[in-house]
Chains A and B, each alone.
Chain A
Amino acid sequence: MNLFAEAKSLVKKNIRDYGMYIALGVIIIIFTLGTDGNFISSRNISNWINQTGYIAVLAVGMTLILIIRHIDISVGYLCGFIGAFSAILMTQAHFPAWLTILASLALGLCIGMFEGFLVAQVGVPSFVVTLAGMLVFRGLLMLVTQGTGTIIVPDDAYNAIGNGFIPEITKIGGYNFLTLLVGVLAIIGLVFSQVKNRNNQIRYHFEVLSMPMFIIKLAFISAIIGYVVYILAGFKGISWTLVIVAAVVAIYNFALNKTPFGRHVYGVGGNAQAAQLSGVNVKKITFMVFSSMGVLAALAGILFTARSKSATTTAGTAFEMDAIAAAYVGGVSADGGIGKVTGTIVGAFVMSSLTNGMNLMGVDISFQYIIKGAILVLAVVFDITTRKNKKAA
């Protein structure tokens, strides 16, 4: 009974965070039923994750941009342009894959820095800067693909980023051993860090979850990780895309929650004047956030190009809108100052699950757009109403 009360208050306190996961769970169940279980087949889950990868990476960068009350609508065509740039480096300059990737990321960084400079230092509104960027990158993409049209990428190492899986050492009863190992290690790591964290809090005499509740929570999260890994191991294992997305999320989540940089980002978004008077260099933070967006846009461009094994003249169209939608669905506040990378990732998976699931169910593309629009608005309505309730409480 006591345990139940604790669980209730835990959910109530974190309804905004948990709401997203619950929504994703509901969507998965609906599609699983609607597709006779096809949706949660190993092949489809693996496919779904790879489909989401490049949008998820973009959305992580966009989360920071939206938190500091800016916007970046140039990232879609920047993705497309950098994808084409990397394809050209390999096909015409015969760069090896690793050098191509480094050069592409560096170009993304430079472009992000330039946009950041215009926004932070010169004071041009970000909407204008990135609208201009959108036009310029679209033009550049058309320019570099003019002669050749679609550029086929022949490099297997490069393409593996979007299509490949971590190597298979051996199979255990038809399941990918390395993938299972990674899953087990992830769960052990999670348990260790959570226990360490809890002990630390006890040492500071803080209130912590009761032991049974703590175990239930850990078991629940472990079960989800375990199940996902189990499904993936039944197909080809963990994809490189998933590894990259996980790394990006881990890095950004750490930076936002554990470093002064992250605090400053939230401070600038919450009240830029107060942040400045607290000694935060608002211009520097703005510049850094746009720079990081440039790198992530390049990374997303590489992921997308590798996945389709080619660079096309229309690559990147409307990616920025998907990224922005994912961030809002994932609980980033339209007023800035609030948002989590983990939420955004869930948002990205929610949006891509709609595409994936409705495709499987054979829903007409026109309805797909309408439904996605409705879900976006619903998510933000939920976000706003729960926030109001919290204030009243």
Chain B
Amino acid sequence: MKKTEHLICFLKVFKRGTMDMEDYILEMNDITKEFPGVKALDTVNFKVKRGEIHCLVGENGAGKSTLMKVLSGVYPHGTYSGSIVLNGVEQHFSNIADSEKAGIAIIYQELALIPELTVYENIYFGHEIMSGKTINWNQTIINAQKVLKQVGSSANPVAKVKEYGVGTQQLIEIAKALSKNVKLLILDEPTAALTEADSENLLNLLRELKKQGVSCIMISHKLKEIISIADTITTLRDGKTICSMDAKERRISESEIIKYMVGREIDNVYPPREKHEYGDVSFEVKDWTVFDPAAGREILHNVSLNVRKGEIVGIAGLMGAGRTEFALSVFGNPQNYKIEGRLLVNGKEKNYRHPEKAIRDGLAYVTEDRKGNGLVLIKDIKENITMANLKAICSNGIINQNEEVRVANGYLKSINIKAPSVDQIVGNLSGGNQQKVSIAKSLFIGPHTLILDEPTRGIDVGAKYEIYTIMNQLVEAGMSIIMISSELLEILGMSDRVYVMSEGKITGEIKTEDATEEIIMGMATVG
């Protein structure tokens, strides 16, 4: 069934390709990029017509960003195979400066402006207008005004960038790109952090730039805006081009895109779980609204969810939906968010001011970024495992180091951490084993509720299966698990119940037996 769909899709592309020789500004042919153990891109073909808006879609990890990094020279020529042809000439970019010289500009989700510098300084940062050996600031200001006008921004060129919001900063980034005489503009999720009005404004600008002859590649998760703006939509999945659809010819539906994004054969990678009864609600939040003073915006709005004993609740959603922020906000709030709402643990209202208090209350959190904030990489396995609950191996305030080794050895066996001994430095372990150490650390707290944030990110299939097995054993023993995951299959394979989050809101709650990838992806791309 699926195979025929692909065939039709390919045939359409093929047919169009041969019928009329298109004028392509960019052709990326058979791009393959490998990282140790992973094929991030597998013979990807990607062609952009001159003067079109080309949207690139795909799940997290499908290879969109990797492809754009290949294009912009972040991964230099020689580290991938395949060819990049720009304006009919094959290119060998060895760094970003090379691709910029060729007229390619990439604007990342995290803006690359320097807040303490003025708008005009930022626009011409790195390609300053010189007269002789010194910078000609007057000319810089005049030129900055011109490009700002071109992007329809009313920003004052002599004001500091930090005085403007994300929407205006986005426009300043585009102005910067235009000032470099860009021919091909790449935008990585440009509207992810924007309000609705700002997003609309940006999309209009892209249409305007198109008229001026600027070609544009846009990566986005928001299907509505893709459909409204795209001339062509290319879908990537698991590092392969699935298909390229002409969106001018006919109107593409959201469900069609979703089907190509997620459609794949499901192998049996999820261990079966014994049917068992759920207990009482162990963890619940009501009307949880969170404001992040550092970012200056609300990151969660009226979130309500609960989990029962013996239940795995999945939180699905795309990157930036606010799921990790949610976990941190309930887990002692280390980021000092401003929070409204109620948190109930085993029926009692709680207000944790520090992770220490949450841990003492039987809450455990396994972070999505085990290297960044999960483990102390320069320390050994045993010290990492006992770190969150040293009291358990202390007598009279003194650590019993023999007991510590015994505890750590226990986990080495019970959850199968592959290491020669518990004295092994954690930084030297593989990703899967590091993740197991991270989980062991949380289990040693003796939690009743475990929050797992992307529990299998970046680890191999074998270790994944083992982690799923551990999760099953835990819920069978009556623990509650909240699993945050961007992998739809994992959500469907492991959860009993699923909440879907999008832009800081819960956009759906669904029992797993009623859920499909399409339904969840639909809920996750609302807005």
Contacts and interface: CB of A to CB of B under 8 A. Distances in A.
Interface stretch (A101-109, A184-192, A267-275): A267-275
A336 to B, nearest CB: 9
Given A260-B391, A273-B372, A278 B378 contact: no
Contact of B355 (A267, A271, A278, A391): A278
A281 B354 contact: yes
Interface stretch (B20-28, B92-100, B193-201, B392-400): B392-400
A263 B383 CA distance: 8
Interface in B419-436: 425, 427-428
A259 to B, nearest CB: 6
A52 B459 CA distance: 51
Nearest to B369: A273
Nearest to B334: A276
Contact of A279 (B355, B383, B428): B355
Nearest to A393: B428
A200 B428 CA distance: 29
B390 interface: yes
Nearest to B398: A258
Given A266-B379, A279-B360, A274 B428 contact: no
Given A260-B394, A263-B383, A263-B390, A274 B402 contact: no
Interface string A276-317: 111111000000000000000000000000000000000000
B441 interface: yes
B397 A278 contact: no
B409 to A, nearest CB: 9
Interface residues of B, number: 39
Nearest to B438: A274
Contacts of A257: 399
A169 B301 CA distance: 78
B367 interface: yes
Interface in B334-377: 334, 354-356, 358-360, 365, 367, 372-377
Contacts of A273: 334, 372-373
B397 A260 contact: yes
B102 interface: no
Contacts of B378: 270, 337-338
Nearest to A336: B378
Nearest to A262: B399
A204 B402 contact: yes
A281 B357 CA distance: 10
Nearest to A392: B428
A203 B387 CA distance: 24
B252 interface: no
Given A260-B397, A391-B428, A277 B376 contact: no
Contacts of A338: 378
Given A206-B405, A260-B390, A274 B365 contact: no
A359 interface: no
B293 to A, nearest CB: 14
B374 A277 contact: yes
Contacts of A391: 425, 427-428
A201 interface: yes
Nearest to A337: B378
Contact of A263 (B332, B359, B374, B387): B387
B364 to A, nearest CB: 10
Interface size class, chain A:
20 to 34
A279 B332 CA distance: 9
B331 interface: yes
Contact of B405 (A204, A266, A278, A390): A204
Contacts of A201: 402
A337 B387 CA distance: 14
Contact of A270 (B365, B372, B376): B376
A277 B332 CA distance: 9
Given A201-B402, A204-B402, A277 B377 contact: no
B319 interface: no
B205 interface: no
- Residue among A200, A206, A257, A263 facing the most chain B CB atoms (10 A cut-off): A263
B388 interface: yes
Contacts of A263: 383, 386-387, 390, 399
B406 interface: yes
B288 to A, nearest CB: 19
B402 A206 contact: yes
Contacts of A390: 425
Contacts of B388: 278-279
A14 B241 CA distance: 52
Contacts of A206: 402, 405
Given A203-B402, A274-B387, A279-B355, 10 more contacts: A200-B402, A259-B397, A260-B399, A266-B376, A270-B379, A278-B359, A338-B378, A390-B425, A391-B427, A391-B428
Interface of A: 200-201, 203-204, 206, 257-260, 263-264, 266-267, 270-271, 273-281, 337-338, 390-391
29 contacts: A204-B406, A206-B405, A258-B398, A259-B394, A259-B399, A260-B390, A260-B391, A263-B386, A263-B387, A266-B383, A267-B376, A271-B375, A271-B376, A271-B377, A273-B373, A274-B373, A274-B374, A274-B376, A276-B373, A277-B331, A277-B373, A278-B387, A278-B441, A279-B355, A280-B356, A281-B354, A337-B379, A338-B378, A391-B425
